[in-house]
Structure 1
Amino acid sequence: MENITEEQVLQRAACLADEDPSHTYHKSYKYFVSYFFDKPCLTESDLVVGANFTYGWMPTILNFKSTEFERAVTIINKAKGAERITDDEILILKRLINNSLVGVSKLLHFINPDVYAIWDSRVCNFLTGKSHKQKVENTSLFWSYLDLCQRVMKHSKFDEIHKSFIEKIGYEVSPMRTLEQIMFINSNEPLQ
């Protein structure tokens, strides 16, 4: 993704003007983010509740695939901070939460939308032109995607696009959410 320019992503931002603020995702999104924002310390209960409401945005049912709840709670509390969690930590979360990087990325985004963007098959397809499971579940691609988002957010045109999207939908979202929406909406027209 290092070869993707900020301009290539931002040229696709016109799609945000057509976004319907009454869509189900918009209705639930602000409550999901608020749930975690209001909690200074997350518990196992928060992990279980959050994973389950995250799976309301998934086509599959949630199954916990490991018993590493205690370690996962430590990791999601760390994820509330400004620094990203590690590869090993994301794998612990992935093993627990349906063995799905997509589910983990959504949960991490709801916990800390300023640091993590939602990663799914549509975003992967937009960026790589492919969305098979091996690519979507690749943590290196996920980190590269977050790095790309950081680069795009620094572009001189981004603030205006971000503010316009917030005005359109009628509530605050992080810059990461705005970028993910550009990529998600344009997934049928990949950059590559």
Structure 2
Amino acid sequence: MTQTSPAITLEKLRRAIRLIDEPLIELTPQSLTYLRSYPALLAASRTLASTHDSGDLLLQLSAMCYGWMPRVARVNARHVDKASAALACALESDVLIDTAQMQDLANSLHSVVGTSKLLHFLRPQLYPIWDSKVALFWAMPFKKSLQAHMSNVGNYHRYIKDIEALIASPDFSAFYNDFDQAYSRRLDRLKIAPYSLSPVRAVEAAAFELSGGDYDDD
């Protein structure tokens, strides 16, 4: 029997706004770096996408995104052609690439998580980032290990569809505005120039906060 994830409500995601507005929470240096560098990486991705062919784009985005994770990029040369074609489709289309194309990217990068980050920086309006904290928050039932669960492109695709459903709901606009404003307030408190998030990124960022975020223990 196919397992599906339970609905994640906007009411539940709204709890993240209170966390983001909490002035006493200290973020780790890694999280601060993420926040500061995020808009720069989006801009760099746009520039790379407009000036390089798909083969170079795969390699350059991989190096950039894995530095942001941070991890060491491992691009499998045997899958580069198919992965580059999938990346080109993602860049040119306003709809999601299919799971087979996502798998081509994952085969090249040895990672669905890495694939999600490449796709997000290329098309932040369509593709959310997929990581262990978000996967656990989404509470998708799985019998195997978390790593096996996260390595399944079908789970990532279902996660995207869940976010699409949330964004299409009539109350999403109010949540998005409130969350985006709270996020800007946090950035301002941290002396980081405020920037707006895409609706997809806002949902994912709220899920990350509710899963524990990235805070100092001190």
Q: CA deviation at 1:154?
A: 3.3
SS in 2 for 1:23: helix
Partner of 1:82: 94
Partner of 1:37: 46
Paired with 2:161 and 2:18, the residues of 1 have a C-alpha distance of: 22
Out of 49, 52, 65, the residue aligned to residue 54 of structure 1 is 65
Q: CA deviation at 1:32?
A: 1.4
Out of 159, 184, 196, the residue aligned to residue 145 of structure 1 is 159
Paired with 1:167 and 1:188, the residues of 2 have a C-alpha distance of: 20
Summarize the alignment of residues 1-192 of structure 1 with structure 2, pairs less than 5 Å apart: 1-18=5-22, 23-38=32-47, 39-40=49-50, 42-43=52-53, 44-80=55-91, 81-97=93-109, 99-128=110-139, 132-155=146-169, 156=171, 157-165=174-182, 167-168=184-185, 169=187, 170-188=194-212
Q: CA RMSD in A?
A: 2.5
Instruction: Note if contact 1:13-1:182 (Cα within 8 Å) is conserved in structure 2.
Output: yes
Unmatched segments (≥5 aa) in structure 1: none
Q: CA deviation at 1:86?
A: 0.9
Structure 2 residue identity aligned to 1:91: Q
How many pairs are equivalent? 187
Paired with 1:161 and 1:141, the residues of 2 have a C-alpha distance of: 28
Q: CA deviation at 1:41?
A: 6.2
Q: 1:73 to 1:126 in 2, by over 3 A?
A: same
Q: 1:71 to 1:165 in 2, by over 3 A?
A: farther
Structure 2 residue identity aligned to 1:40: S
Q: 1:140 to 1:13 in 2, by over 3 A?
A: farther
Paired with 2:209 and 2:156, the residues of 1 have a C-alpha distance of: 18
* Cα shift readout 1:34-66 (whole Å, capped 9, x = no counterpart): 122233365222211110111123353221134
Report which of the two structures shows the higher radius of gyration computed on alpha carbons. Answer: 2
* Cα shift readout 1:154-187 (whole Å, capped 9, x = no counterpart): 3423232243145333013211111111111221
Q: CA deviation at 1:11?
A: 3.3
Paired with 2:158 and 2:195, the residues of 1 have a C-alpha distance of: 28
Instruction: Note if contact 1:54-1:106 (Cα within 8 Å) is conserved in structure 2.
Output: yes
